[in-house]
Chains A and B, each alone.
Chain A
Amino acid sequence: MTNPTDLPVSGNDPANIKLLKAALDSSISGIIITDNTQFDNPIIYCNKAFEKLSGYSREEVIGRNCRFLQGNERHQDARGAIRRAVLKGEPITVELRNYRKSGELFWNELYISPIKGDQDQITHFIGVQNDITRRKNAEENLIYERDLVEQKIQERTRELNENREYLDSVIQTIRQGLLVLDPEFRVISANYFFLKTFKVEQRDTIGRSLYELGNGQWNIEQLRTLLEQILPTSNPVLDFEVDHEFPHIGRKLMLLNAHRIELEGDFKDRILIAIEDITEIRASEVRKDDFLSVSSHELKTPLTTIKGYNQTILRLLPADINPKIHSMVSKSARQVDRLHNIITSLLEMSRIQSGKLVLDLEPIDLNVMVGELLDEFRESHSSHVLSLQGQIAAMVPGDESQIAQVLQNLITNAIKYSPDAREIKVILSEVSNYAKISVTDFGLGISMEDQKMIFDRFFRVSTIQKHFPGMGIGLYICSQIIKQHGGTLWVDSEPGKGATFSFTLPLDKERKNG
């Protein structure tokens, strides 16, 4: 052995060996030396750091080939690189998956340096090992995170695509023509139903001005004015009816609604137009109205004859007639009136529903009207005592026959639902600028839950269904009639203590219309 000049102590002083060994044991890298001159290149040295790193003690390592550190993974990619470097006698750094004695995996960054003898043959290898598990894990985590992000992006993209397709399919399936316009009223997109309704194609539509479509069907002065207000004011165009002879499809009644798309960014200042063909709906409404008015006319005509005969019979009956006969004819007459009321109610309900209840407004003297009505009731209902209190000085604008119908209904109900109490009170008063009429009975009363629903169509209080037959449309019609007059109908009641139905009517017309 030569006497290297860079050794801490000169010559072959054993102190040199001791110092070098101490240096090796101080290293934080695991260091091993293998003897290539012996069979299977066994480990002949390992430092303390190697013992710590591998978990094996020196005794367990010496004499073995390094490959045992690879556990079952004997075919790692790095082995080829090691073999090639060994053949060339060059140093190499590789990363290997190694296993500690405990079986735990660690990433070993291995630097292999061949040591050559006098004849240039490799006598030893020095392996320097560093545990890079943490770095590898961080790298792997990074890759994993990147993959995860990638995966999430793909998922989001897929979701967005699905959403778009879903919305697209909704828009394409919806049975209403839809157009999206730019601020210059040029068509950006049209859905399938629009194209189908107007028997047109995308190329007839997209990119063209709304006003140029077809034969200029939407080029209506009034509609233009409304549409031009959409973007500056955000006021939508609601239920604009266009009755027009359209190309390809003939005369149709179209209902147009337009809204500003309230989005910022790419979709800012776009206008969404929905067009619905209401030709058939309108025609069927007209047919229904016709049917109702014809059938009610046909029902009322024979009633006129019956009523006339009933009244004439009653008038012609001799004074000494068997009272039973008189009573039967009277009852028959009352049933005719009832039938008439039912027909009127059905017709009115249909009108209320289609918003066609027409009020024939005239100034009404409520004192006279109520007085006369009560007189009629007193004649036909001796079972109850009807009293009238208070008065209303001013004339009230209203449809007399309808207001009378409301009052009639309320009094009839008061009588009907107070079979065991005799008194019915009608009270007239003026409250602020309203006339108020109240009908109070001391009968069955109405529970709080039922009070909320009695003004609904066809609602009948379930507990009285059997004993007091009726259609359950009376109060609905009453409340609608009062509402149309600009007043309110309400009830105050406690079960078992009777009920007070009250309604108001505005005293002056201005107030009502405002």
Chain B
Amino acid sequence: MAKKLLICDDDINIIEMLEIVLDDTPIEIITETDSKKVFELIVERNPNLVLLDLWMPVISGDEVLRQIRESEQIGDLPVLIMSAAQDGKEIAMRSGADGYIAKPFDIDELIAKVEELIGMN
């Protein structure tokens, strides 16, 4: 069964680019630009890894991450944070992320991190 990756970023361009970048991997991609809907979507689709942006309107990535960590159901779900914010790594680690990648990233590095956290190696 294919591993599922859920990507949430408010910038549709990033989502479109990631879909193409990850196109030749066997990973199934689920995308969402509205962070308000992402928690429910995670519960519903049960992905193996969530790739979250940090600075998103209304609900930021670290808040989504906190919701996940506080949830009994999906508290252990691996989460990879990506951000262009200077203090992104600090926020990600503080909020309990499993990994962090700074934007703009090298796609090989991104793919390596995704594959590692999703449990493909």
Contact = CB atoms under 8 A, between A and B. Distances in A.
Interface of A: 293, 296-298, 300-309, 311-312, 336, 340, 347, 351, 358, 360
Contact of A360 (B11, B13, B89, B103): B89
Nearest to B88: A297
How big is the B interface, by class?
20 to 34
A300 B89 contact: no
Contact of B86 (A293, A298, A303, A309): A293
Nearest to B85: A297
Contact of B106 (A300, A311, A360): A311
Contact of B84 (A301, A336, A358): A301
Contacts of B104: 300, 303-304, 306-308, 336, 340
Contacts of A336: 104
Contacts of B16: 305
Given A304-B17, A358-B90, 12 more contacts: A293-B85, A293-B87, A296-B84, A297-B85, A301-B84, A305-B13, A305-B17, A306-B104, A308-B21, A311-B21, A340-B104, A360-B90
A266 to B, nearest CB: 54
Most buried by B among A297, A301, A351: A301
Contacts of B11: 301, 305
Complex A-B, nearest 3 residue pairs according to Cβ-Cβ distance, in ascending order: A300-B84, A304-B104, A304-B103
A369 B97 CA distance: 25
Given A304-B17, A305-B13, A312 B84 contact: no
Contacts of A300: 84, 103-104
A302 B13 contact: yes
B89 A308 contact: no
Interface string B74-106: 000000000111110110000000000001111
A340 B21 CA distance: 20
Contact of A311 (B55, B103, B107): B107
Contacts of B21: 308, 311-312
Nearest to A344: B86
Nearest to A311: B107
A311 B18 CA distance: 12
A297 B90 CA distance: 15
Nearest to A306: B104
A308 B22 CA distance: 10
B120 interface: no
A312 B23 CA distance: 10
Nearest to A309: B17
A308 B84 contact: no
Given A300-B103, A340-B104, A308 B85 contact: no
Contacts of B84: 296-298, 300-301, 304
Given A297-B55, A311-B107, A340-B104, A304 B14 contact: yes
B20 interface: yes
19 contacts: A293-B86, A297-B84, A300-B103, A301-B11, A301-B84, A301-B103, A304-B14, A304-B103, A307-B105, A307-B106, A308-B14, A308-B18, A308-B107, A311-B106, A312-B107, A351-B86, A358-B87, A358-B90, A360-B90
Given A304-B14, A305-B17, A347 B89 contact: no
Given A297-B55, A303-B104, A347 B86 contact: yes
A304 B14 CA distance: 7
A293 B104 CA distance: 15
Contacts of A360: 89-90
A358 B86 CA distance: 10
Contacts of A309: 17, 20
B14 A305 contact: yes
B109 to A, nearest CB: 10
B32 to A, nearest CB: 17
A347 B105 CA distance: 18
Contacts of A312: 17, 20-21, 107
Contacts of B108: 311
Interface string B20-33: 11000000000000
A301 B86 contact: no
A296 B83 CA distance: 11
Nearest to B11: A301
Contacts of A303: 103-104
Nearest to A315: B107
A305 B55 CA distance: 16
A302 B89 CA distance: 19
A303 B13 CA distance: 11
Interface string B27-63: 0000000000000000000000000000100000000
A309 to B, nearest CB: 6
A347 B18 CA distance: 26
Given A308-B21, A311-B106, A312-B107, A296 B86 contact: yes
A128 to B, nearest CB: 108
A359 to B, nearest CB: 12
